[in-house]
Amino acid sequence: MRTIKGPAIFLAQFLNPDADGDEVAVLAQWTKALGYRGVQLPTGNSAAIDLTLAAESLAYCDDLRGRYAEWGLEITELSTHIQGQLVAVHPAYDALFDGFAPEALRGNPAARQAWAIDQLKLAARASVNLGLSSHATFSGALLWPYLYPWPQRPAGLVDTAFDELARRWRPILDAFDNAGVDLCYELHPGEDLHDGVTFERFLDAVGQHPRCHILYDPSHMLLQQMDYLGFIDIYHSRIRAFHVKDAEFVRSARQGVYGGFENWLSRAGRFRSVGDGQVDFSGIFSRLTQYGYAGWAVLEWECCIKAAAQGAAEGAPFIANHIIQASDKAFDDFAAVRADQAMLNQLLGIAD
Rounded CA separation 179/169 (Å): 15
What pLDDT was estimated at residue 326?
A: 86
Q: Which amino acid is residue 43, in one-letter code?
A: T
What pLDDT was estimated at residue 335?
A: 66
What pLDDT was estimated at residue 32?
A: 97
What pLDDT was estimated at residue 29?
A: 94
What pLDDT was estimated at residue 334?
A: 66
3-state secondary structure the chain: CCCCEEEEEEHHHCCCCCCCHHHHHHHHHHHHHHCCCEEEEECCCCCCCCHHHHHHCHHHHHHHHHHHHHCCCEEEEEEEHHHHHCCCECHHHHHHHHHHCCHHHCCCHHHHHHHHHHHHHHHHHHHHHCCCCEEEECCCECCHHHCCCCCCCCCCHHHHHHHHHHHHHHHHHHHHHHHCCEEEEECCCCCCCCCHHHHHHHHHHCCCCCCEEEEECHHHHHHCCCCHHHHHHHHHHHEEEEEECEEEECCCCCCCCCHHHCCHHHCCEEEECCCCCCCCHHHHHHHHHHCCCCCEEEECCCCCCCCHHHHHHHHHHHHHHHCCCCCCCCCCHHHCCCCCHHHHHHHHCCCC
Angular region, 190: left φ>0, alpha ψ -120 to 50, beta rest = left
Length of the chain: 352
User: How confident is the prediction along the chain (352 residues), in pLDDT tens digits per residue?
Assistant: 899 999 999 999 999 888 887 889 999 999 999 999 999 999 998 889 999 999 999 999 999 999 999 999 999 999 999 999 999 999 999 999 999 999 999 999 999 999 999 999 999 999 999 999 999 999 999 999 999 999 999 999 999 999 999 999 999 999 999 999 999 999 999 999 999 999 999 999 999 999 999 999 999 999 999 999 999 999 999 999 999 999 999 999 999 999 999 999 999 999 999 999 999 999 999 999 999 999 999 999 999 999 999 999 999 999 999 999 987 777 677 667 788 999 889 889 998 7
Rounded CA separation 345/352 (Å): 8
Nearby residues of 265 by Cβ (< 8 Å), 6 or more positions away: 304, 305
Nearby residues of 315 by Cβ (< 8 Å), 6 or more positions away: 7, 9, 34, 244, 273, 274, 299, 301
What pLDDT was estimated at residue 1?
A: 84
Domains and CATH numbers, the chain: 5-348 (3.20.20.150)
What pLDDT was estimated at residue 339?
A: 87
Contact 263, 255 (CB under 8 A): no
